[in-house]
Chains A and B, each alone.
Chain A
Amino acid sequence: GAVVSQHPSRVICKSGTSVKIECRSLDFQATTMFWYRQFPKQSLMLMATSNEGSKATYEQGVEKDKFLINHASLTLSTLTVTSAHPEDSSFYICSARKNIQYFGAGTRLSVL
Chain B
Amino acid sequence: KQEVTQIPAALSVPEGENLVLNCSFTDSAIYNLQWFRQDPGKGLTSLLLIQSSQREQTSGRLNASLDKSSGRSTLYIAASQPGDSATYLCAVPAEGSSNTGKLIFGQGTTLQVKP
Contact = CB atoms under 8 A, between A and B. Distances in A.
A100 B34 contact: yes
Contact of B102 (A6, A43, A49, A105): A49
A112 interface: no
7 contacts: A43-B107, A46-B103, A93-B43, A101-B46, A103-B44, A105-B42, A106-B41
Given A100-B49, A105-B42, A108-B41, A46 B106 contact: no
A24 B73 CA distance: 31
A102 B36 CA distance: 10
A105 B44 CA distance: 7
A44 B43 CA distance: 11
Contacts of B106: 43
Contact of B43 (A42, A97, A103): A103
Interface in A25-57: 32, 34, 42-46, 49
Interface of A: 6, 32, 34, 42-46, 49, 91, 93, 95, 97, 100-106, 108
A3 B104 CA distance: 21
Q: Which of B43, B44, B49, B105 has the most CB of A within 10 A?
A: B43
B101 A97 contact: yes
A94 to B, nearest CB: 9
Nearest to A4: B43
A105 B45 CA distance: 9
B104 A102 contact: no
Nearest to A33: B101
A101 B25 CA distance: 19
A46 B104 contact: yes
B64 interface: no
Interface in B51-89: 89
Contact of A106 (B34, B42, B46, B107): B42
Q: Which of B36, B101, B108 has the most CB of A within 10 A?
A: B101
Contacts of B100: 32, 49
A104 B101 contact: no
